[in-house]
């Protein structure tokens, strides 16, 4: 029982700081009415998550036009110690059409995959949920949170 | 340009082997019409993904009754070398109601979080998508795949 962990909720600013420091995460969206997930690298710029993708991709189709609500998750959880953190942001994702703005973001987020990531996506963190997995005896500022 | 990577698709059996060896991943589902994601530990038993959750959780509500299609993702991607793998399984998730079967799975998947994970969820891997991120010069059995 000693290796069971508690979830401690993170304040919004700490959750966003962890997300900003992480260089990759997973974008979650709906593709043909089914849940879809895709690992991707990101940057956190002026309070928004910035990612790049292909115009022809499922993700670009999902958020094309007026935009779409997506979730974005980053984590660093050690399966051996069973400790770490996870942050989930939920918010409206929109393609960035303005060429000047797009070009600025392109300079800040280099695609890892060698393909034409010709779209820039900006996600507004409307809802931020973050927690740490901590050992039961560990003291943390925030109180325990039911899973 | 040298640190750009290619995506190489993984055969189904190799993707499922990587998933089975990983001890945690992220379950993706729909919660009140919004995309939701939750890190969780898992076991791979008899061709199915097994995870545990709370009866009162959003996940249990989402798949309760007749079940629901979820996605499940596991990965091991190194942000420094930009190499690694990701596997996404999409399929029907159902609560396991049979007490004997449930008890067997409970013996194989110990919850990491100290709460009453009283539900066992079984996910059938209907669709399996896996890839490796490899350096452009690296030779691999499978051909390159467009992102």
B147 located within any domain: no
CA-based nearest residue in chain B for residue A146: B115
Name the pLDDT band for B2 (thresholds 50, 70, 90).
low
Contact yes or no for A37 and B26 at CB 8 A:
yes
For the domain that residue B18 is a member of, what is the CATH number?
2.30.110.10
pLDDT tens digits, B19-38: 999 999 999 999 888 999 99
pLDDT tens digits, A53-91: 988 889 999 998 889 999 999 999 999 999 999 999 999
What three-state secondary structure class fits B69? strand
Residue A147 reports pLDDT greater than 50: no
* Contacts with A61 from chain B: Cβ below 8 Å: none
A145 located within any domain: no
Interface test with B, best of A84, A112, A129 (most B CBs within 10 A): A112
The domain total for chain B is: 1
Among the partner-chain residues A26, A30, A136, the one whose CB lies closest to the CB of B37 is A26
The DSSP code for B17 is H
Distance in angstroms (rounded) separating the CA atoms of residues A27 and A42: 10
Element (H, E) at A61: helix A58-63
What is the span of the domain harbouring residue B111?
5-134
Distance in angstroms (rounded) separating the CA atoms of residues B34 and B55: 20
A147 located within any domain: no
A74 located within any domain: yes
């Amino acid at each position: 029982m000693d290796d069971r962990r508690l979830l401690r909720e993170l304040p919004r600013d700490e959750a966003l700081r962890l997300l900003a420091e992480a260089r990759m995460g997973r974008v979650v969206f709906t593709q043909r009415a089914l849940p879809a997930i895709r690992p991707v690298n990101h940057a956190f710029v002026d309070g928004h998550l910035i990612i790049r993708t292909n115009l022809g991709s499922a993700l670009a189709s999902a958020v094309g036009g007026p935009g779409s609500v997506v979730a974005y998750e980053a984590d660093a959880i050690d399966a051996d110690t069973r400790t770490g953190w996870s942050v989930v942001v939920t918010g409206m994702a929109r393609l960035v059409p303005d060429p000047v703005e797009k070009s600025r973001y392109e300079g800040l987020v280099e695609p890892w995959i060698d393909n034409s990531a010709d779209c820039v996506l900006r996600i507004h963190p409307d809802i931020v949920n973050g927690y740490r997995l901590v050992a039961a005896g560990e003291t943390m500022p925030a109180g325990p949170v039911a899973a």
